[in-house]
Amino acid sequence: PRLANQIAAGEVVERPASVVKELVENALDAGASRIEVDVEQGGAKLVRIRDNGGGIDEADLSLALSRHATSKIQDLDDLESVSSLGFRGEALASISSVSRLSLTSRVPESEAAWRVEVEGRDMDARLSPAAHPVGTTVEVRDLFFNTPARRKFLRAEKTEFNHIEEGLRRQALSRFDVGFSLRHNQKPLFSQRPADSQVDQERRIASLCGTRFIENAVMIDNEASGLRLWGWVALPTFSRSQADLQYFFVNRRVIRDRLVAHAVRQAYRDVLYNNRHPAFVLYLELDPANVDVNVHPTKHEVRFRDGRLVHDFIFRSLHRALAQVRP
Pairing of strands 280-286, 303-304: unpaired
Q: What is the DSSP letter of 229?
A: E
Chain Cα centroid distance, residue 276: 28
Rounded distance between C-alpha atoms, residue 204 and residue 182, angstroms: 13
Q: Is 86 in the site for Mg ion (CB under 5 A)?
A: yes
Q: Is 96 in the site for Mg ion (CB under 5 A)?
A: no
Q: Is 257 in the site for ligand ADP (CB under 6 A)?
A: no
Radius of gyration of the chain (CA): 21
**Residue of 91, 98, 103, 173 interacting with Mg ion (CB under 5 A):** 91
Angle CA 228–232–236, to nearest 5: 130
Contact 9, 16 (CB under 8 A): no
**Residue of 16, 43, 89, 231 interacting with ligand ADP (CB under 6 A):** 89
Closest approach of Cβ 60 to Mg ion, in Å? 14
Q: Which among Mg ion, ligand ADP, none contacts residue 5 (Cβ within 5 to 8 A by kind)?
A: none
Q: Which among Mg ion, ligand ADP, none contacts residue 87 (Cβ within 5 to 8 A by kind)?
A: ligand ADP
Stretch that binds ligand ADP, among 65-73, 162-170, 293-301, 303-311 (CB under 6 A): 65-73
DSSP lists the bridge partners of residue 129 as 114
Q: How many CB atoms lie within 10 A of CB 110?
A: 13
Q: What is the DSSP letter of 242?
A: S
Stretch that binds ligand ADP, among 38-46, 70-78, 208-216, 227-235 (CB under 6 A): 70-78
Q: Which residues bind Mg ion (CB under 5 A)?
A: 26, 86, 91
Q: Which residues bind ligand ADP (CB under 6 A)?
A: 22, 26-27, 30, 51, 53-56, 64, 69-72, 86-93, 136
